Structure 1
Amino acid sequence: MTLLRRIFAPAPAIPRLPDSEIPSKYQHYRWQILESTFIGYAVYYLVRNNLPVVGKEMSAELHYSYEMLGNILAATALSYGLGKFVMGILSDRSNPRVFMAFGLALTAIINVLFGASSDYSLQIVLWAVNGFVQGMGWPPCGRSLGHWFSIKERGTYFAIWNIAHNIGGGLVGMVAAQSALYFGWRSAFYIPAAIAAVGAVYLFLRLRDTPQSVGLPPIEDFKPEDYKDAKVDEDAERERTTYELLFKDVLSNPVLWLFASANFFVYIVRYGLLDWGPTYLKAAKGASLSDGGWSTLIYEFAGIISTLLMGWLSDRLGGRRGMVSLLCLLPISGSLAGIYMTPPGYLWLDLLFFSIIGFFIYPPVMLLGVAGLDFTSKKAVGTAAGFIGFFGYAGRTFEGKILGMLADGPGWNAVLLFLGGSLLGAILLLLFTWNLKPKQ
């Protein structure tokens, strides 16, 4: 246990660099942190969201029902939510360089084992463990960005970083689908695992811990024009105990509970279409394996521009992340209705509605996480992100189980109606966040 603590311990502060070097070094490291967390988290997606792309093909060969497939998705969603919470607490007391790289290496190994298995019970266990280990991805990113970017600019820079979700989530649709098309469905786990192994090495070589660990002042004190006059808030820089992180900074914060509850419903909508979109289009609309992969790519990539725009807008509105999130959810209802009413044979129209939903669903996904960081200490950003993420993936767990049962029973129209009801729940909760903004 002592050895593990030493391996994952936060990097110690080193003597501050000469004043003349601080501005240039700060900007260099800020972009290095943004780049490494961006690429690293995109690669995490390749070994997490590959199962839905080949779910139909795997189920056909192994004789799984939609409910059985839904059970695997539900197991990993629950374990990921729990992992995100637990790993969030641990990440606030760890060096993200080691923490994030180690997690990516572990999930690569698990993907290889899952792809080689044909046993249903073993696959549930493996994919649940994969979900838990995947919890080592988001929290260290939140910790890193929280230390290197200030509150007044978080919406913009988190929006840039958040595109990693779309890049990774979109590429996995094509990587997994093309791998399965040419080499069989098992290769949809082997090939992404190889990419993840390379990504783990990259993260260890490129990522860094706090500004103080490389001889720079904390972000609150970095002002290129007059940073020498700034005063360090020593309490704000003090490492928190686990008790303080969990009970004082997070669980006693009612604002975090509100954003977390809204996230529960947002994730049902997000993953309802991401997990089941390719299968739905193939089963209900007659799409091919390749067409199903395109739905994932379009859904993910559509959110890139909107995430940047809405992140910037939330900064301009003083950090009103809840307000912007609510406005983004409104157009999604019309697109869900459009998918519901579109008959088979109009795949282009279904893909258009998928792109509209992807365009508007990802800003709330990003902004609700940033809101959690805004309303807690920067030393607890991983814990806050894990807490909000736990609610999100509790929603995904619920979605994975319920939608599989609905697809096997009443049918796909019932699935779409359930997603519509979840969307309404998110809208009602976010009404209470309309004017909430953090203290700068």
Structure 2
Amino acid sequence: MPTIRFRSDVSSDSFWTRISGQRWSKHHYFVFVHTFMSYAMLHATRKTLSTVKPSLIETWTSNTTNPIFPTQQAAAEFLGVLDTGFLIAYAIGLYICGILGDNYNPRRLLAFGMMASSIVVLCFGYLTETFHVYSPMIYSFLWILNGFIQSVGWPVEVSIMGNWFGHNARGAVMGAWSSCASVGNIIGTLIASYTLFMGYQYAFLIACSLLFIYSFLVFFQLPSAPWEVNSEMVQEQVNEENLDDDELAERPPPIGFFRAWLLPGVIAYSLAYACLKLVNYGFFFWLPFYLHAGLHWPESYADSLSTWYDVGGIVAAVLAGAFSDHMRSRTPVVFIMLLMATVSLYVYAHSPASYNWNAFLLLVAGFFIGGPANMISSSITADLGKCEQLRGNAEALSTVTGIIDGTGSVGAALGQWFIPSVQHWFGWKAVFYGFIIMTLCTALCLTPVLWKEHKDRRIHRSDEVDALLQSDSDENPSDENVQEVRRRPTNSNV
């Protein structure tokens, strides 16, 4: 296991300074809060569809004069098609928006995406029900378009966070920040659970209204990088990152899309995230429906219970991120959590129909699944996009984020296509067994990275021993002293 490295050079200016090891100005707080809440609002509008699926199925099959689907199974399969279409468009958009985020102003791109998404969600969920426009073609077009538009959010926001927070802060800060998706899921779920008695369309109305309003705050108050503020802030980051003055004086040039794929660890983590995001988004899209249709609990009851999965992901993102800051690599933390995730999934597949047991087991499953997912998509991605090979000479954060999250969305899209059919033919336990297999595949994809890091540590320790032997032999070349040096314990962090 990697050696834990505790830092003793942290000042006591503030709570976040002590946690992250980096000084926070008012601009750091603005960036953290606005990026956190903006993506939470994006995810809340996305989560609304999964929370109102039973109401939509009821409306499409029995509450209209001309039902658009003959059976509830057909309606559920169409919802699976919507989720798949959303994720395919989302994946394609991530590759494109990742490049745009490194070439254009991230703040403007983000604000535009939030405004456009709020309008599309309003049309999809509120206007279609208000004017009784029930058309599979319209639903498909609007939700797929929403997937493409929302893809601007994650790569741009990770890029902004990576610009403001240094490597030593990324695990703790990015871990806490990456819980924005889970917080957004909780917000969307609570909005739906408290408005369903009025009609499912009001859940969409409230969620997209909040998103639209917050887009103005992002546009007018969010600084995308230190070089947009003043030279003093740039100098602070130069001092903390040990960079040259001219590396942060202006925005570095963007890296090419294909060159970004060749950065160390990008391909391995992209494939791993494709497997893991399938599992994470399987819970995201289908957990409320499973609790309602599989365990026969009321829809609002199932929505509230499903939030425990997101709570587990939030706790894991903060704790695992902070712990990984004190290690040479974050990969072992992710790998161990993935192995524990397979156990938690197996136990949950056989859980009793008890609220307390489900809440606890969802908390555990969210911890070991949502935690690694949040780490890969935030702090690990930021590390890869700011690796030593670039050293401030090129900007790759947004592009690398788009590659990893885009590849993950491809895997998630395939999963949403198969989940309804697997559930229909083999039952819900088969779905969870499939999740276990995909989690193991995630760990398998990270095995080469883990092995390479292990070899690098051995080479590093060997070089330290050789340097120590050479230094001691220069001072006293006697064989007796050389043998004594060979018996000395070594520390990989010397």
Tell me the TM-score range normalised by the shorter chain.
Answer: 0.7 to 0.9
Distance in 1, matches of 2:249 and 2:424, equals 52
Distance in 1, matches of 2:44 and 2:248, equals 39
| Aligned positions, number | 409
Distance in 1, matches of 2:258 and 2:220, equals 34
Q: Secondary structure at the match of 2:147?
A: helix
**What's 1:7 paired with?**
none
How far residue 310 of structure 1 moved from its aligned partner, in angstroms, is 0.7
The equivalent position to 2:276 in structure 1, one of 266, 269, 272, is 266
How far residue 397 of structure 1 moved from its aligned partner, in angstroms, is 0.3
Contact 2:351 2:357 in 1 (8 A): yes
**What's 2:367 paired with?**
359
The 5 Å alignment of 1:267-346 reads 267-318=277-328, 320-343=329-352, 345-346=353-354
Q: Secondary structure at the match of 2:103?
A: coil
Contact 1:155 1:312 in 2 (8 A): yes
The equivalent position to 2:105 in structure 1, one of 95, 112, 129, is 95
Distance in 1, matches of 2:414 and 2:202, equals 28
Larger-gyration structure (1/2) = 2
How far residue 220 of structure 1 moved from its aligned partner, in angstroms, is 8.1
Distance in 1, matches of 2:356 and 2:343, equals 17
Unmatched 5+ residue regions in structure 2? 1-21, 62-73, 129-133, 387-391, 458-494
How far residue 301 of structure 1 moved from its aligned partner, in angstroms, is 1.6
**What's 2:52 paired with?**
54
How far residue 75 of structure 1 moved from its aligned partner, in angstroms, is 0.6
Measured against aligned partners, the alpha-carbon deviations of 1:325-359 in whole angstroms (never above 9, x if no partner) come to 1111222222222222234x323322221111112
TM-score normalised by structure 2 residue count: 0.78
**What's 1:81 paired with?**
91
Unmatched 5+ residue regions in structure 1? 1-23
Contact 1:298 1:355 in 2 (8 A): yes
How far residue 111 of structure 1 moved from its aligned partner, in angstroms, is 0.6
Contact 2:313 2:371 in 1 (8 A): yes
Contact 2:179 2:374 in 1 (8 A): no
**What's 2:471 paired with?**
none
Q: Secondary structure at the match of 2:224?
A: coil
TM-score normalised by structure 1 residue count: 0.87
Please identify, of 59-68 and 400-409, the stretch whose mean Cα deviation from structure 2 is larger.
59-68
CA change 1:218–1:260 in 2 (3 A) is farther
Measured against aligned partners, the alpha-carbon deviations of 1:148-183 in whole angstroms (never above 9, x if no partner) come to 11122211111121121121111111112222x222
Distance in 2, matches of 1:251 and 1:305, equals 31
CA change 1:33–1:97 in 2 (3 A) is same
Contact 2:227 2:250 in 1 (8 A): no
Q: Which of structures 1 and 2 has the larger relative contact order (alpha carbons within 8 angstroms, sep 6+)?
A: 1
Q: Secondary structure at the match of 1:48?
A: helix
Contact 2:85 2:144 in 1 (8 A): yes
Whether 2:131 is the aligned partner of 1:131: answer: no
Distance in 2, matches of 1:368 and 1:174, equals 27
The 5 Å alignment of 1:25-36 reads 27-36=25-34
How far residue 239 of structure 1 moved from its aligned partner, in angstroms, is 3.7
**What's 1:164 paired with?**
180
CA change 1:360–1:368 in 2 (3 A) is same
CA change 1:348–1:254 in 2 (3 A) is same
Contact 1:66 1:407 in 2 (8 A): no
- Give the partner amino acid of 2:373: V
- Give the partner amino acid of 1:222: Q
CA RMSD of aligned residues (A): 2.6
Distance in 2, matches of 1:254 and 1:215, equals 33
Contact 1:328 1:361 in 2 (8 A): yes
Please identify, of 382-391 and 301-310, the stretch whose mean Cα deviation from structure 2 is larger.
301-310
- Percent identity reads 25
Measured against aligned partners, the alpha-carbon deviations of 1:257-316 in whole angstroms (never above 9, x if no partner) come to 000000011111111112111111111111111122123311112222221111111110
Contact 2:264 2:384 in 1 (8 A): no
